[in-house]
Structure 1
C-alpha cells in the first residue's frame, strides 16, 4: 500500500469514487481512495437511485445534467452495467402555483440545456392510465432521466478509476490530519470486525498526500472535528417503502407497455417509481429527525432505523389517491436510512475554510444524482484552479463560524421537509430565526419590517403593513408579483424622490493595516488604491483571472484600509483574504512588510441613507462648526470618507450609494446603533424619510447597472467580461492579470429593459434568445420604477451586447421582448449622485 500520493480521497460512496475517477481522468497520477468499510456501505447502498434534473440552482443543475449524461457512458468504458433505467421523470402539479414553479425551473433548465416537455392532465392519462389526473393542472416531463442502481454505478466508477490507475483501499479509517507545510500527513488505521461491528486494529500507517478530499457522508461531523472546522452536513432520516406487485402494473407491462416514469406529486410530497411489478414510495414528510449530530456509532454500518409508518401516513394515502390500483397492494420492504443535508440543501463542494489543499465534498441530499458532476467539476477546481461554472453557491465557506451543530440539525430537518414545498424565489424559511440580529432589529420590526436572512443576519427585505399578521410574508410570496411588491415599489420610489434608510449591517468588513498593507492590496486587487480619505471599487481575481470577490476599499490612513464586501460572503472573503496574504508574504517577508488582517464585521453597524433629500436629513443632526457645508461637495466629495458626528454617535461616513442616488453609508459602532437609528428617523420625519428594504435596493441598483457578487460577478466571468474595465488598472501587476487577459471576452454583461407579462418580473434565472437561438441568460431581474417596466441584467454573446439589440427573454413559457440599453440607464451621467448642496 502506497504511503505517498498526489491526492487522497476519503470516502468510498458514489461521490468519493466519482471524484477519484475524475481526478485520474483529468491527468493526476497517484490518486488513492480510502474507505473505512466497503464501497457503498454508507448512504449509497440504501439510496433510491433517482436522478432528478429538477433544481433551481444554476451550478447544481449543471452538476446533475453532467451526471445523467456521464452515467450513460460508463458501461462502454468499464463493461459494467450501471443499472440506468432511462424511464423519464414526470413531475405533476395540483395547483397553478406549482405550475408557475415548474415554469421558473424551466428557465434554469433552458440556460443549462436540459430538455423538458409540458404535459396536460389528458396527455398524462392517455399515456399512463393508472395515474389519476382529474385534480391535476399539468406536469413537466424530463425524458432523459430516470433511476439507477446506486451500488452498480458506484462499482462502475470504481472500476473506471482503477483502470486509470487509482488505488482503492478498503477497511482503512482516517484518524487524523496534520498539515506539514506542503502536504498532509494522514493517519490511518486498519479496520477489522468483531461481532458484526467495525473495530480498529493495531495496524496504522501515515499517508503523505499533497491534496486530500473528504467525501465522508454521514461521518462529516467526525471529519470536521479532526480538521478543526465546522461542516453543517448532518443526516436526516429518509424513509421509503416497497410494495408487493400491483396486478395493474403487472398487466400493464405484460401488454408490452413501457415502464412508468418516476412519478412525483410535489403537492403531496412524494415520489413513486416501479419496482419489480410493485411501487417504491419515497415521502418527504414533516418531523423527520436529524441523526448523528456528533458521531456515527461504531455499530452502525450498512444499517437502518426503525420505520415510522405513522409519520408518513398522509403521504401513503395520497399515493393511493394518485395510483388507485395500489390500494390493495401489501408492503414488501421498507427502508429508513440517514441522508445528509445542509441548511440550504446544496452540497458543500470546494476548499475547506482556513486549510490548504483540503477539499470538501459533503452534505449530499441527492448524492447519486450529484456524484458524477461533483467529481467532474471538483476535479476541474483542483487540477485547473477553477471550474468552468461558478461553484461559489456550493462553497463550504458560505457558512461562518457562528454556525453551530444545533443550528445545522434544525435547518437540515427544515430543508428535508421543504424538498417538495413550493420553492418561491422570494422564499424565506423560518427555522432557527431570528438568530443574528443587529440592535435595530426590534425597531425595524415595529415598523412592519419583513426580514430576510443573509449569512444568519436578519435584514429587512421590505416594510409591510403595521398591522400585518405573522403569516403576512409567507402569504405575500409568489412566482409573480407577490403581495410584497407594492411595498417594495413604494420604497424604491421614496429613494428616487425623497430619502430612504437601509440597514446594511450585514456587509462583511475587514481591516487591513501595517506597512505591508499597501503593497499587498496593490497586488491583490485590480484597481488603483485610493488616496487617504478616498474610496475605490475593486476586484480580487482567481488564479484563472475570473472574479473572486468585490471590495469597496476605504483608505483610512496611509497604511490602514477598511474593506467592505457582500454580507452573504463574509467567511468566504475572510478566508480568501487571509490565504492571499499568506501567499504574498511568502514572497515578500520582511520587517518592512508586516501587516495585520482583522474581521470587524460585528464591530460596525451600517445604515445607508440615499435620495435627493438625504443631505437634508443628515444636516439636522450632524455636529460641525459649519453644519451647512460639512456635507457639501467641497468638503465631502463623492467617493470619499469622512469621520463625522451625528448627534453623539461617531460615524465613519462613506459617500457612496448602491441605489444610484445622493447618499452615504454610515458605518457606526454597533453598540450605538439604536441611538443612531432613532436620531435619523426623528430628523427625517419632516423630510419624509422612509425605511427601505433589500428588494427595493436590488431593483434600484439594476437601474444603475451595478453588478452584484453572486449574480453578475463570479468565478465564471472576468471583470472585463462583466464590463468593469474602468475598475481594472492594466498598467500595474496584480494577481490573476495574465489569466484574465488570456481568457479574452467570451460573453458580455448587459442591462435590459423588458416588456414582460402583466403582473410578473424576471427573477434573474431566465434564458435570453435571439430569434430561436439561445444566446445568454439573465443573472438578475426585477422592476424599474424609473421606466415603469421590468428590468434585468445578464450575459450575452459579445456581438449582441450593443445598445439597441432586441432580444427575447423566456418567462412563463413565453418569449417577451427585451432591449439592451446603455449601462446605467437611470442617470447615466451620475448627476444625482454628485448633487451638491
Structure 2
C-alpha cells in the first residue's frame, strides 16, 4: 500500500469518489482514496438518488447542473451504467405565493442555463392523469432532471478514478492528522468485520499527503475532533417509504412513459415511481438530529426504526395527490441519517486555520452535488480558484462561536424547511437570539425586526409596536409585504433627515507590527491611506478575482484597523492570518493580526441632519467646527468624545449621505445609544434597518461582498478602477490583467410591477437574448422605482442601454444608469457645515 501521495481523499461515498476522479482528471497523478468500510456504505447506499437542479444558490445550481451533465457521460467512459433515469422534475404549487417562489427560482435557473417549462393544472392532468390537480395553481417542470442509482453512479466514478490512476483502499480508518510543516501525516488503522460490527485492528500505517480532502459524511463530527475544528455538519433522520405496485400506475405505464419526480412543496414531499409502485420522501416536522458527537462503532450501513406517526400528514397528502395510492400497501421503508448544515448548503473548500486541508462535508443532497463538487473543488485545489464563486459554500462561513448544540438544532430546522417558502430575505427562528449587541433589547423595544448575520442579530427594519396579529413581520412574500412601507420610510429618513443604523456585526481586525505596512501594501490593490485617513480596497485571489473587501483605517505608521463584511468574519480572518504568515515566512518581518470584532460596537449615523445630531453630544473645544470639512474631511478618521464615550469616528456612509461610522467600546453601547437617541429626537432621527440600507447603497452603486463582489469577477470587472493602483505590485495583479474584462457591473433603474421589487437573482435580457443577471435588487426612494445591480457583457454596460429583467415570468423594462445615479458627484457626502 502506498504511503506517500500528493492528495488523499478520506471517504468513499459519492462525494469522495467524485473528488478523487476529478483530481485525477485535472492532472494530479498521485491520488489515493481511503474508505473505512466499503464504498457507498454511508448515506450513499440509502439515498433516494434524486437530481434536482432547482436551487436558489447560484453556486449550488452550477454544481447540480454539472453533476447532471457529467453523470450522463460516465457509461461511455467506464462501461458502467449509472442508472440515470431522465424523467424530469415536476414542482407543483398549491398557492400563488408558491408560484411566485417558482417564478423567482426559474429566473435564477435561467442565469445558469437550466431549462424549464410552465404547466397549468389542466396540462398536468392531461400528461399525468393519476395526479389530482383541481387544487393546484400550476407547476414548474425541469425536463432534464431525474433520478439515479446512488451506488451505481458512485461505482462508476470510482472505476473512472481507477482508470485515471487513483488508488482506492477500503477497510482503512483515519485516526489522526498531523501537519509537519510541509505535508500531512495521516495515521490509518485497518478495520475488519466482527459479528456485524466494524472494529479496528492493530495494523496501522502513516500516509504522507501534500493535500488531504475529507468527505466523511455522517462521520464529520469525528473528523472535526481529529482536526480540532468546528464543522456544523450533523445528520438528521430522513424517512422514505416504498409502496407495493399500484395497479393504476401499472396500467398507465403500458402506454405511457415514467412519471417525473413529483414534488408537492406545499405538502412537503417528493414522490417518484419504483418498480410499479411509489417512493414517498417526506420532509416532516420534528425529525431529530443524530450522532451529534460521532457515529457509534456499531452503526454501519444501518437504519433507524421508522416513525410513521411523524409522517402521517405527508403520507395522507400523497394519497390526496395520487388517489390511486390509497389502497396500495407498504413494501419497504427507510429511515437513515442524512447530513445537514444550518443553511442547507454543503461545506466545500479550505479548512479554517489549516494548510492544504480541504473539507467536503454536510451534503443533504449529496448525490446531486457529488459530481459538481468534485469538479469545482478540484479546480480550487489544482488551479487555485474555481471558475464560479464558491464563497457561499466555504466552511468558514461559520465561526468558532458555533457549537454542537447550535448546529444540531439548526440542522433540524433546515430539514423541516426544505419545502417551506424560501424568499431571499428568509429568516429562520431556531437558536435565536444568540449573538446580540448590547443595544439589542432597546432596539427590540422600538419595534426592531431582526435578521441573523453570522449569528448576530441585526435589525432588518423597525415595524409598528401595535401591529395587528396578521401583520407580515417575517415578510414571507416575494412581493412587497407589510414591512415594505417601514423600510421605505427609513430609507427616506436618511435621504431627507437623519437615521441611525446598528452596524456592530461588521468584522474588525487590527493589523500591526514592523511589517504591517509592507504586508498590506502587497495584500491589497489600492494605495494605503495616510495616518488618520481611510481607503476602500480589495484583496485578490490568485486568479485575480475579488477575495474580500476592506475599509482600512490607518491609525499609526504600522497600525491599521480593517473593517469588512460581518457575514464573512471567519472567512476574512482566516485568509488575512494565512497571508500574514506567508509574508512573515518570506520576509522575516513581524505582522500581528488580531480579531477585535467583539470589542467594538458600531453605529452608522447618516443623513443631511447627522452633523446636527452629533454636534449636540460632541465634547470639543469648538463643537461647531469639529465636524466641518476642514477639521474632519470625508474619508478621514478621528478620535472624538460623544458625551462620556470615547469614539473612533470614520467619516464615511454606506448609504451615500453625509454621515459617520461611530466605532465605540462595546461595553458603552447602551450609553451611546441613549445619548444619540435623545439628541436625535429633536431632528426626527429614525432607527434604520438593513433593508433600507441595502436599497440606499444601490442608489450609490456601492458594491457588496457576496453579491456584486466575489471570486468570479475581478475588481476591474466590478467597475472599481478608482480603487486599483496599477503603479504598485499586489497579489493577483497580473492574473487580473490577464483576465481582462469579461463582463461589467452596472446599476439599473427598473420599471417593474407595482407590488414587487427585484431581489437580485433575476435574469437580464437584451430583446429575447439572455445577457446577464442581477446580483442585488430593491427599491429606490430617490427615483421612485425599482433598482438593481448586476453583470452584463461589456458592450451593454453603457449608461442609457435599454434591457429587460425577468420578474414573475414577465420581462420588465430596465435601463443602465451612470454609476452612482444618486448624487454622482458626491456633493451630498462632502456637505460642509
Q: Common fold, TM-score beyond 0.5?
A: yes
Q: 2 CA distance for matches of 1:286 and 1:409?
A: 14
* Contact 1:477 1:483 (C-alpha < 8 Å) held by counterparts: no
Aligned to 1:162: 162
Aligned to 1:181: 181
Aligned to 2:420: 421
Aligned to 1:285: 284
Q: 2 CA distance for matches of 1:95 and 1:691?
A: 35
Q: CA deviation at 1:643?
A: 0.3
Aligned to 1:10: 10
Aligned to 2:753: 757
Aligned to 2:558: 559
Aligned to 1:127: 127
Query: Residue 711 of structure 2: SS of its match in structure 1?
Result: coil
Q: CA deviation at 1:595?
A: 2.3
1:193 aligns with 2:193: yes
* Contact 2:11 2:34 (C-alpha < 8 Å) held by counterparts: yes
**Which of 682, 698, 703 is residue 702 of structure 1 equivalent to?**
698
Q: 2 CA distance for matches of 1:483 and 1:118?
A: 29
Q: 2 CA distance for matches of 1:566 and 1:731?
A: 27
Q: 1 CA distance for matches of 2:470 and 2:350?
A: 39
Aligned to 1:575: 574
For residues 350-382 of structure 1, the C-alpha deviation after alignment (integer angstroms, 9 at most, x for no partner) is 000000000000000000000000000000000
Q: 2 CA distance for matches of 1:765 and 1:647?
A: 44
1:778 aligns with 2:777: no
Aligned to 1:65: 65
Aligned to 1:27: 27
* Contact 2:108 2:762 (C-alpha < 8 Å) held by counterparts: yes
Aligned to 2:37: 37
Aligned to 2:616: 620
For residues 95-148 of structure 1, the C-alpha deviation after alignment (integer angstroms, 9 at most, x for no partner) is 000000000100110000000000000000000000000000000001111100
Q: 2 CA distance for matches of 1:823 and 1:501?
A: 26
Query: Residue 28 of structure 1: SS of its match in structure 2?
Result: coil
* Contact 2:146 2:261 (C-alpha < 8 Å) held by counterparts: yes
Aligned to 2:314: 315
Query: Residue 339 of structure 2: SS of its match in structure 1?
Result: strand
- What is the aligned-residue RMSD (CA, Å)? 0.8
* Contact 2:472 2:481 (C-alpha < 8 Å) held by counterparts: no
For residues 486-529 of structure 1, the C-alpha deviation after alignment (integer angstroms, 9 at most, x for no partner) is 10000000000000000000000000011111000001000110
Q: CA deviation at 1:469?
A: 6.4
* Contact 2:53 2:145 (C-alpha < 8 Å) held by counterparts: yes
Q: 1 CA distance for matches of 2:433 and 2:99?
A: 32
**Which of 784, 789, 806 is residue 785 of structure 2 equivalent to?**
789
1:517 aligns with 2:516: yes
Aligned to 2:607: 611
Aligned to 2:654: 658
Query: Residue 551 of structure 2: SS of its match in structure 1?
Result: strand
> Structure 2 matches for 1:708-747, cutoff 5 A?
708-747=704-743
Aligned to 1:335: 334
Q: CA deviation at 1:19?
A: 0.3
1:673 aligns with 2:669: yes
Q: CA deviation at 1:476?
A: 3.2
Query: Residue 437 of structure 1: SS of its match in structure 2?
Result: coil
Query: Residue 252 of structure 2: SS of its match in structure 1?
Result: helix
1:383 aligns with 2:420: no
Q: CA deviation at 1:836?
A: 0.4
Q: 1 CA distance for matches of 2:507 and 2:415?
A: 30
Query: Residue 169 of structure 1: SS of its match in structure 2?
Result: strand
Q: CA deviation at 1:771?
A: 1.0
Q: 1 CA distance for matches of 2:469 and 2:23?
A: 50
Query: Residue 706 of structure 1: SS of its match in structure 2?
Result: coil
> Structure 2 matches for 1:528-543, cutoff 5 A?
528-543=527-542
Aligned to 1:358: 357
* Contact 1:448 1:468 (C-alpha < 8 Å) held by counterparts: no
**Which of 619, 628, 633 is residue 632 of structure 1 equivalent to?**
628
Q: 2 CA distance for matches of 1:193 and 1:83?
A: 29
For residues 382-429 of structure 1, the C-alpha deviation after alignment (integer angstroms, 9 at most, x for no partner) is 011000000000000000000000000000000000000011222100
For residues 656-704 of structure 1, the C-alpha deviation after alignment (integer angstroms, 9 at most, x for no partner) is 0000000000000000000000000000001011000000000000000
Query: Residue 443 of structure 1: SS of its match in structure 2?
Result: helix
Query: Residue 597 of structure 2: SS of its match in structure 1?
Result: coil
**Structure 2 stretches lacking a partner, 5+ long:** none
Query: Residue 432 of structure 1: SS of its match in structure 2?
Result: coil
1:459 aligns with 2:461: no
1:273 aligns with 2:272: yes
TM norm structure 2: 1.00
For residues 520-545 of structure 1, the C-alpha deviation after alignment (integer angstroms, 9 at most, x for no partner) is 00010001100000000000000111
TM norm structure 1: 0.99
Aligned to 1:767: 763
* Contact 2:656 2:697 (C-alpha < 8 Å) held by counterparts: yes
* Contact 1:450 1:473 (C-alpha < 8 Å) held by counterparts: no
Q: 2 CA distance for matches of 1:368 and 1:187?
A: 29
Distance 1:433 1:470, change over 3 A: farther
For residues 600-655 of structure 1, the C-alpha deviation after alignment (integer angstroms, 9 at most, x for no partner) is 00000000000000000000000001111110111100000000000000000000
**Which of 684, 687, 703 is residue 688 of structure 1 equivalent to?**
684
* Contact 1:230 1:401 (C-alpha < 8 Å) held by counterparts: yes
Aligned to 1:104: 104
Q: CA deviation at 1:468?
A: 3.2
Aligned to 1:326: 325
Distance 1:474 1:492, change over 3 A: closer
For residues 773-826 of structure 1, the C-alpha deviation after alignment (integer angstroms, 9 at most, x for no partner) is 111110000000000000000000011111111111111111111111000000
Aligned to 2:643: 647
Q: CA deviation at 1:471?
A: 7.2
Query: Residue 708 of structure 1: SS of its match in structure 2?
Result: coil
Q: 2 CA distance for matches of 1:594 and 1:326?
A: 71
Q: CA deviation at 1:758?
A: 1.4
For residues 680-733 of structure 1, the C-alpha deviation after alignment (integer angstroms, 9 at most, x for no partner) is 000000101100000000000000000000000000000000000110100001
For residues 461-481 of structure 1, the C-alpha deviation after alignment (integer angstroms, 9 at most, x for no partner) is 000001236874555331011
* Contact 2:82 2:148 (C-alpha < 8 Å) held by counterparts: yes
* Contact 1:92 1:266 (C-alpha < 8 Å) held by counterparts: yes
Q: 2 CA distance for matches of 1:58 and 1:577?
A: 26
* Contact 1:705 1:825 (C-alpha < 8 Å) held by counterparts: yes
Q: 2 CA distance for matches of 1:673 and 1:473?
A: 30
